[in-house]
């Protein structure tokens, strides 16, 4: 768990971060989202003291980060950045081994850990461990960058647009892999992004920032359906209903029990409302079965159920609360 308490950062007269308080729970992936210059990267970099706050407190698991030396602190926190910053003179394996080596882990253990991480990133160890960064594609380099951040198995990860420098197709793929990995590892992650679909896809919660302040914090559907300010509403653009369909999971709806007769089609409760809608429209039945992913049926929904959920969610038609 990491907590920012009234954290400020000013450069001369310029305010970069204006008294931000934010708490990211253990195992949660929180995306700092916002236009460039909103202070999201500065906020992230204060967590491992690459930037020292002008005032305020940052606590990791209840301990003030100012109590550890910057070097000690950084070795305990994973760090991945957009331009990846792999060391060009070191092999993939040596890059991944950076933090474990600094911490004095035994060579045999490091080698095993490196291979484990490469496999985890869908990079075959035998093929990749001895390559140099110049021999990797953009997507492969980003995967190695994430592996390097995870190497010392830190409970907390700081990621500054780690998938920002690759083409859209590979980005979608690496994003899905990363989300699957995070569901398994349950790290506490602060993830900086300026990409709305990426934030909506990955975030447990989004902290939307503007000019040094957090405008709103909440789960993606919450920000879309009930924006706290005009800025939040405008930020997600015109088609917020569509975004809501894409970010809300069927499991979040009230699912009525299945009626008599089995529905012909069924999807998992983990699916989004958009997927449910498509399934309803392409199927010939009026009902769509919902299963829990392990063969158990949870109930069934109709087009009307989705409409009712959307109406409730967008109840105030997205008028800002303040």
Partner 1 sequence: MSLLDFLHEYDQSLLIALGEHLRLVGIALLIAVAAGVPTGAWIARGEHRAGPVLLAANIIQTIPSIALFGLMIPILAMVNHGIGFLPAVIALILYAQLPVIRNTRVALRAIPPATLDAARGLGMTERQIFLRVALPLAAPGIVAGIRIAATMSIGVAAVAAYIGAGGLGIFIVRGIQTTWDMMTIAGAVGIALLTLVVEIALGIVQRMLTPKGLRVRGGGR
Q: Which of 157, 132, 135 lies closest to 147, judged by CA?
A: 157
Per CB under 8 A, 218 contacts partner 1: no
Question: 274-304 burial string, b = 16+ CB within 10 Å, else e?
Answer: bbbbebbeebeeebbbbbeeeeeebbbbbee
Q: Does 158 bind partner 1 (CB under 8 A)?
A: yes
Q: Distance between CA atoms of 141 and 9, rounded to whole angstroms?
A: 32
What is the spatial distance between Cα 263 and Cα 272, in angstroms, rounded to a whole number? Answer: 19
Q: Is 162 in the site for partner 1 (CB under 8 A)?
A: no
The Cα 269–Cα 24 span in angstroms is 26
**Is the torsion defined by CA of 80, 81, 87, 91 positive or negative?**
positive
Q: Does 167 bind partner 1 (CB under 8 A)?
A: no
- Interface with partner 1 (CB under 8 A), residue total 32
Give min distance, CB of 128 to partner 1, in A: 9
Is residue 99 involved in binding partner 1 (CB under 8 A)? yes
Stretch that binds partner 1, among 18-26, 67-75, 250-258, 288-296 (CB under 8 A): 67-75
Where does this chain touch partner 1 (CB under 8 A) — which range of 76-84, 115-123, 187-195, 226-234? 76-84
Instruction: Answer yes or no whether residue 142 interacts with partner 1 by CB under 8 A.
Output: no
Calpha distance 187→181 (Å, rounded): 10
Beta-strand runs (E) in the chain: 2-11, 14-24, 29-33, 55-60, 63-64, 77-81, 156-160, 188-193, 205-210, 213-218, 266-268, 288-291, 297-301
Nearer to partner 1 (CB atom), residue 91 or residue 272: 91
Residue whose C-alpha is closest to residue 127's, from 138, 118, 139: 118
Give 39 or 289: the residue with its C-beta nearer to partner 1.
Answer: 39
The answer to whether 53 contacts partner 1 (rule: CB under 8 A) is no
Residue 146 or 253: the one with the smaller Cβ distance to partner 1 is: 146
Among 135, 254, 262, 307, binds partner 1 (CB under 8 A): 135
**Residue 67 or 102 with smaller CB distance to partner 1:** 102
**C-beta atoms surrounding 69 within 10 Å:** 10
Residue numbers 103-132 binding partner 1 by CB under 8 A: 103, 131-132
User: What burial class does residue 48 get, using C-beta atoms within 10 Å of its C-beta: 0-12 exposed, 13-18 middle, 19+ buried?
Assistant: buried
CB of 2 to partner 1, least distance (A): 16
188 near partner 1 (CB under 8 A): no
Provide the minimum distance between the beta carbon of 267 and partner 1 in the complex, in angstroms, as a whole number: 39
What residues make contact with partner 1 under the rule CB under 8 A? 48, 50, 71-75, 79, 81-91, 98-99, 102-103, 131-135, 137, 145, 148, 158
């Amino acid at each position: 768990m990491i907590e920012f308490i009234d954290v400020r950062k000013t450069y001369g007269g310029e305010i970069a971060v204006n008294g931000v308080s934010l708490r990211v729970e253990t195992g949660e992936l929180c995306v700092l989202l916002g236009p460039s210059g909103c202070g999201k990267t500065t906020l992230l970099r204060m967590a491992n003291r690459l930037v020292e706050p002008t005032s305020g407190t940052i606590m990791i698991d209840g301990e003030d980060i100012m109590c550890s030396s910057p070097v000690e602190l950084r070795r305990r926190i994973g760090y991945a950045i957009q331009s990846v910053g792999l060391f060009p003179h070191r092999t993939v394996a040596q890059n991944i081994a950076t933090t474990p080596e600094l911490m004095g882990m035994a060579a045999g253990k490091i080698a095993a850990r490196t291979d484990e991480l490469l496999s985890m990133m869908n990079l075959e160890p035998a093929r990749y461990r001895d390559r140099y960064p110049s021999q990797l594609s953009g997507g492969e380099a980003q995967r190695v960058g994430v592996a390097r951040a995870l190497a010392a198995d830190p409970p907390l990860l700081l990621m500054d647009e780690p998938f920002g420098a690759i083409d859209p197709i590979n980005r979608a793929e690496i994003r899905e892999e990363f989300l699957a990995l995070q569901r398994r590892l349950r790290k506490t992650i602060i993830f900086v992004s300026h990409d709305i679909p990426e934030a909506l896809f990955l975030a447990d919660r989004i902290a939307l920032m503007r000019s040094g302040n957090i405008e709103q914090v909440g789960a993606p559907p919450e920000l879309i359906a009930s924006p706290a300010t005009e800025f939040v509403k405008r930020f997600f653009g015109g088609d917020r209903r569509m975004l809501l369909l894409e970010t809300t999971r069927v499991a979040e709806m009230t699912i009525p029990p299945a009626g008599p007769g089995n529905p012909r089609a069924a999807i998992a409760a983990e699916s989004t409302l958009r997927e449910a809608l498509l399934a309803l429209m392409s199927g010939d039945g009026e009902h769509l079965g919902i299963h829990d992913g392990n063969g158990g049926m949870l109930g069934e929904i109709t087009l009307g159920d989705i409409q009712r959920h959307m109406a409730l969610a967008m109840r105030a038609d997205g008028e800002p609360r303040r």
